[in-house]
Amino acid sequence: MPEIRWRPARRGAMEKGNGRGTLVLLFAAGFCAYGCNHACMIYVPLYVVALGGDLFQAGLQATVFLALAVVLRFVVGPWADRRGAKGPMLLGLAAYVVGAPLLGLCHDFASVLAVRCLQAVGMAAFFPCAMAAVSAASAQARSGLALGLYRFVSSVALMVAAPLMFSLVAAVGYGVAFTGCGVLAAVGLLCAALVPARCCRPAGSEGEAKGTRAGWRSASGEDAATPADEARTATAAAPSGTLRDAAGTL
């Protein structure tokens, strides 16, 4: 009988592809999300002033946006721990897809503040979960490199979004420019939707537990019980073996 050697399936591997393809999708989604977020962070204060607001209101919307995003992370975090990061990532990008075009329809400070509260869901849900997904999708020995590249992508998004948004606002106005941000977020949403869900599941989550058996392969490539399954079987068999030994001694 051939010896069975256990090895975990490649982390983040796509069903038809590899972990590199998953990382490319995550980087693209991150670029779109950061680009949309940076553009709104920079130009919404100017938009508030253009609508007739004062500098206090321009700063207040940013304070409310960031404070609400911090609070919502305490809700999103446990959800991602239980079910994996893909759901929160999709929710976060959807908040930007809907929220950015709505900014162009606002006519007063109250409506802008309401839309920024919606976008706070995007910041709370997408960004921390995307980092976790990048770490999970990369090889264990290269997770630091992958995270560094992801942060580089976010910096490039900031460098590109600010001047591009300036040109759009000058050419077509705030309404169309914010709609363009929504389109960019929609591209990111599509990329995130293509990311395999299993690469976004943390160890011990409900979703990961369902896919654990499929993540282990024997040397022949066939599904088999995991080492954890074998340990539980050995533990359950230990008491009965002890009783048999005692009976044989008697």
Tokens of 224: 């088999």
- pLDDT class for 82, splitting at 50, 70, 90? confident
Rounded mean pLDDT of the chain?
78
- Reduced to 3 states (helix: H, G, I; strand: E, B; else coil), residue 105 is coil
- pLDDT class for 185, splitting at 50, 70, 90? very high
- pLDDT class for 202, splitting at 50, 70, 90? low
H or E element, residue 119: helix 109-137
User: What is the torsional sign of CA 97, 103, 105, 111?
Assistant: positive
- pLDDT class for 216, splitting at 50, 70, 90? very low
Give yes or no: residues 198 and 238 share one domain. Answer: no
Give yes or no: residues 199 and 228 share one domain. Answer: no
pLDDT at 21: 84
Tokens of 111: 């409506």
Residue 161: inside a domain: yes
Residue with the larger pLDDT of the pair 233 and 110: 110
Give yes or no: residues 196 and 174 share one domain. Answer: yes
CB 165 within 8 A of CB 43: yes
Residue 12: inside a domain: no
How many other CB atoms are found less than 10 A from the CB of residue 15? 6
Give yes or no: residues 148 and 217 share one domain. Answer: no
Point out the least confidently predicted range of 74-83, 86-95, 231-240: 231-240
- How many helices (H) and strands (E) in the chain? 8, 2
The whole-number average pLDDT for the span 28-33 is 95
Tokens of 56: 């206090």
Here the CATH number for the domain that contains residue 53 is 1.20.1250.20
25-34, 211-220, 236-245: which has the highest mean pLDDT? 25-34
- pLDDT class for 84, splitting at 50, 70, 90? confident
Residue 152: inside a domain: yes
Residue with the larger pLDDT of the pair 101 and 11: 101
For residue 229, pLDDT beyond 70: no
The whole-number average pLDDT for the span 77-98 is 90
pLDDT at 186: 97
Residue with the larger pLDDT of the pair 225 and 75: 75
| Among candidate residues 130, 142, 148, 143, the one with its CA nearest the CA of residue 200 | 130
Give yes or no: residues 77 and 138 share one domain. Answer: yes
Give yes or no: residues 35 and 141 share one domain. Answer: yes
pLDDT at 141: 57
Give yes or no: residues 239 and 179 share one domain. Answer: no
Among the three residues 182, 203, 224, which one is the final residue of a domain in this structure? 203
- Residue 44 phi/psi, 5-degree rounding, is -65, -40
Give yes or no: residues 54 and 155 share one domain. Answer: yes
3-state SS, one letter per residue, for 190-245: HHHHCCCHHHHCCCCCHHHHHHCHHHEECCCCCECCCHHHHHHHHHHHHHHHHHHH
Give yes or no: residues 174 and 244 share one domain. Answer: no
Percent of the chain with pLDDT over 70: 70
pLDDT at 15: 41
Give yes or no: residues 228 and 178 share one domain. Answer: no
Give yes or no: residues 233 and 173 share one domain. Answer: no
In this prediction the pTM is: 0.72
Percent of the chain with pLDDT over 90: 51
Q: How many residues does the chain have?
A: 250
For residue 78, pLDDT beyond 60: yes
User: What is the torsional sign of CA 39, 67, 88, 144?
Assistant: positive
Residue 13: inside a domain: no
The whole-number average pLDDT for the span 169-181 is 93
Residue 10: inside a domain: no
Give yes or no: residues 28 and 121 share one domain. Answer: yes
Residue 234: inside a domain: yes
Domain count, the chain: 2
pLDDT at 52: 92
The whole-number average pLDDT for the span 76-96 is 89
The residue segments making up the domain with residue 46 are 19-203
